[in-house]
């Protein structure tokens, strides 16, 4: 089960402990990647292995080097409204096979599955904890 501990002692920057790793995320984007940049990075990073598996499963074979430019469009409230992937891979494939690989990758990508309207965090709170 994935588990992350997020701690902020002041300001808008938070330290995230993920297993033996530590990742800083800054909501303002001044000291580290901001929250939406981090989400987009996670989405693209999850989609890469999904493309690789999709390539093998849909007859494209090894896709070689993969590069994804992930772009997020914001609404008037600076909230994420849309995401676009500009994908490049090394192996030459026909348009139909490429679309089959892309479609299969969306089926496999765990982050794609997680960014849905009905996913909402259950919460508990302990005040006066520190």
Identify whether the C-beta of residue 45 lies closer than 8 Å to the C-beta of residue 39: no
| Burial of 55 (C-beta count, 10 Å sphere; 0-12/13-18/19+) | buried
pLDDT at residue 94, as a whole number: 95
Where does the pLDDT of residue 14 fall: very low under 50, low under 70, confident under 90, or very high at 90 and above?
very high
Q: What is the Cα 55 distance to its own chain's centre?
A: 20
The answer, yes or no, to whether residue 46 has pLDDT greater than 90, is yes
Q: What is the pTM of this model?
A: 0.90
pLDDT at residue 74, as a whole number: 93
Higher pLDDT, 98 or 117: 98
Cβ contacts of 38 within 8 Å, gap of 6 or more: 23, 25
């Amino acid at each position: 089960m994935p588990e992350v501990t997020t701690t902020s002692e002041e300001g808008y920057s938070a330290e995230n402990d993920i297993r033996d790793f530590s990742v800083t995320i800054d909501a303002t984007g001044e000291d580290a990647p901001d929250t939406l940049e981090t989400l987009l990075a996670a989405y693209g990073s999850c989609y890469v292995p999904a493309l690789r598996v999709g390539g093998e499963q849909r007859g494209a074979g090894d896709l070689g080097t993969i590069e994804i430019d992930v772009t997020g469009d914001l609404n008037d409230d600076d909230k994420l409204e849309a995401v676009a992937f500009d994908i490049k891979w090394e192996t030459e494939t026909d348009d139909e096979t490429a679309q089959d690989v892309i479609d299969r990758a969306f089926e496999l990508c765990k982050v794609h599955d997680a960014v849905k309207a009905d996913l909402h965090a259950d919460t508990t709170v302990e005040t006066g904890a520190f």
